[in-house]
A and B are shown apart, each in its own frame.
Chain A
């Protein structure tokens, strides 16, 4: 079954404690993205990747890092989380640039 899997699904943590949200896809997709969803703002793109070792900033990259060492994985790293990063995060992948995105089920982060 084609899947985009995010872990964890829920996390409550404290300011400054480094965390990583993993994203893995089993469809051999080249393109992957991270988004955050906030009430009244819709989804905003954080980072995207066009292939292994190729990443670029989206609209709201501040405070986040990503890496793409293998095609299937695209982790989102918060080196020093702050309360304004409390949000619902989605990872998405697609096979080529003009094909539909497949979204994961989301990760709800609460930074206290």
Chain B
């Protein structure tokens, strides 16, 4: 079947620290992979995506590389800011992007 597993939170970091949030997946076929971010009281927003193996998605200083050999899509940022505090969801899509599967979310707290 299809599923996404991401590291449990919360993750608490100081401003300017390096961030890694782990995400691994199982999928039938060749999925596309996504990271979404959810700020308090809001819906999800797409942060970045990768549609094939070895693709790197990047946006706002965040990066993730589609690793087929390890079935992973880890999110990284070199220097986090307080404004990055949110819940981050890893997701995959199959069936021509019609079906989506999300991880359980990782809450990030960044302290000044």
Nearest CB of A to B71, in Å: 17
Dominant secondary structure at the A interface = strand
Nearest CB of A to B106, in Å: 10
**Chain B interface category by residue count:** 20 to 34
Q: Is B73 an interface residue (CB 8 A)?
A: no
Return 14 A-B CB contacts under 8 Å, by A number. A43-B89, A43-B100, A44-B102, A45-B100, A50-B98, A58-B99, A97-B96, A98-B97, A100-B46, A101-B46, A103-B44, A104-B43, A105-B41, A106-B42
* A98-B43 in contact (CB<8A): no
Residue of B32, B45, B49, B102 touching A42 (CB-CB under 8 A): B102
Q: Is A62 an interface residue (CB 8 A)?
A: no
A-B contact count (CB 8 A): 57
- Residues of the A chain whose Cβ atoms lie less than 8 Å from the Cβ of B101: 45, 59
Given contacts A42-B103, A42-B104, A43-B89, could you give 12 more A-B pairs where the C-beta distance is less than 8 Å?
A40-B104, A42-B4, A45-B100, A56-B98, A90-B44, A92-B44, A97-B96, A97-B97, A98-B51, A101-B100, A104-B43, A106-B43
Can you list, as one digit per residue, whether each of B79-112 has a CB less than 8 Å from chain A (1) or not (0)? Answer: 0000000000101000011111111110000000
CA distance A103 to B101 in the complex (A): 15
* B98-A4 in contact (CB<8A): no
Q: Is A25 an interface residue (CB 8 A)?
A: no
* A105-B42 in contact (CB<8A): yes
CA distance A45 to B2 in the complex (A): 12
- Residues of the A chain whose Cβ atoms lie less than 8 Å from the Cβ of B99: 45, 48, 58-59
CA distance A43 to B34 in the complex (A): 13
- Residues of the A chain whose Cβ atoms lie less than 8 Å from the Cβ of B103: 42
Residue of A42, A48, A105 touching B98 (CB-CB under 8 A): A48
Q: Is A2 an interface residue (CB 8 A)?
A: no
